[in-house]
Structure 1
């Protein structure tokens, strides 16, 4: 796995979603679900659906009932996103388990999967800023502002790709090691959220 392959999968997921451009479109993962490629595709699909839910929830015409329903859906999406990131980290951890870190090996504050999370969301920003540069219904000034932001995002894409590849290279060489912490979120757990367990 490298950044080029990961970004290609993220872009494929975004293109596939926009075939229907609907938040209720079914996830049809073209990769094996338990393989890293399948996990990356699923991860980006979750991000892409949530991106559009975040757009919908900001409509001034949205009804209170629909707003609450979408907010709950976004909460569940965030949990699914976290769970998928942790599956990716677990997969990578197993891949690197046999590597003995060097005595001077350092731990990275960000795991490979959380770096992939940033890369996935960045691909969504790139896609949608490119859309803004091509809109026929906006001013030249709007397009120029979008182009300026797109240029920054393209630079960030290259930087994150390099960081990801360097991190994996360092892990494989034993110069860095993976240490996976679970998120331990409390608000979705009925035994830990006082509002939820207080009603039990």
Structure 2
């Protein structure tokens, strides 16, 4: 099974599992062995799925401002977890390709494999929710048709992104490309780097 095929197997299963409960506080039940790449992919998409719905909740025009602030803090934490998961997945690829002989003239990609997989995870969520819009019976035919066109585009994006990821992994396996991992130095979360936080000390 190709790596993207594994993603296409796990991500929809995660999204379906979440929507059995449709509750941002429902505990994750990751079925894969801890430390495995399957476990990481499941956890990555669960984080993305919960955050998707947190982003919906915070846009409620009637939301209480205090509750909105609590949600904003939670979304911030989720963003950090999402970034951490990307770095864990990239560590998997660094280990996988560590013995590959990088050829002279090999190039680095604009993004690491895991950041491309992050996009694939979000795309799975877009596809799921756009498909739900297509199935709605309480909206106009125009709405359904517009959403169907958008869904077709999202499915084409998935095909293109899948191809690009597989080509990148093949190039890395052959030594035609190599990867570097730059830690995401998020300054706003760091009490030593965010001026609002260090001024409050």
CA distance in 2, matches of 1:194, 1:87: 29
Where do 4+ consecutive residues of structure 1 move more than 3 Å?
A: none
Question: 2:137 is matched with which residue?
Answer: 136
Name the stretch that deviates more: 165-174 or 190-199: 190-199
Structure 1, unpaired ranges of 5+: none
How big is the shift at 1:33? Answer: 2.6
- Note the C-alpha offset of 1:184: 0.9
Deviation at 1:191, TM superposition (A): 1.3
- 2:169 aligns to what? 168
Q: Which residue of 2 aligns with 1:9?
A: 10
Q: State the match for 2:66 in structure 1.
A: 65
Superposition TM-score, scaled by structure 1 size: 0.98
Displacement of 1:197 after TM fit? Answer: 1.3
Q: CA RMSD in A?
A: 0.8
The residue number in structure 2 matching 1:55 is 56
What is the rounded CA distance, in whole Å, between the counterparts of 1:140 and 1:18 in structure 2? 25
Would you say 1:177 and 2:171 are equivalent positions?
Answer: no
Give the whole-Å Cα distance in 2 for the aligned partners of 1:139 and 1:109. Answer: 41
Count of matched residue positions in the alignment of Structure 1 and Structure 2: 200
C-alpha separation in 2, matches of 1:128 and 1:33: 29
The residue number in structure 2 matching 1:195 is 196
Q: Which residue of 1 aligns with 2:27?
A: 26
Matched residue SS, 1:187: helix
Query: Distance in 1 between the 2:45 and 2:6 partners?
Result: 13
Could you tell me how far 1:4 is from its partner in structure 2?
1.1
Greater shift, 8-17 or 123-132, is seen at 8-17
Distance 1:120 1:9 in 2: 10
Equivalent-residue separation in structure 2 for 1:173 and 1:106 (angstroms): 12
- Structure 2 length as normaliser, TM-score? 0.98
5+ long unaligned stretches in structure 2 = none
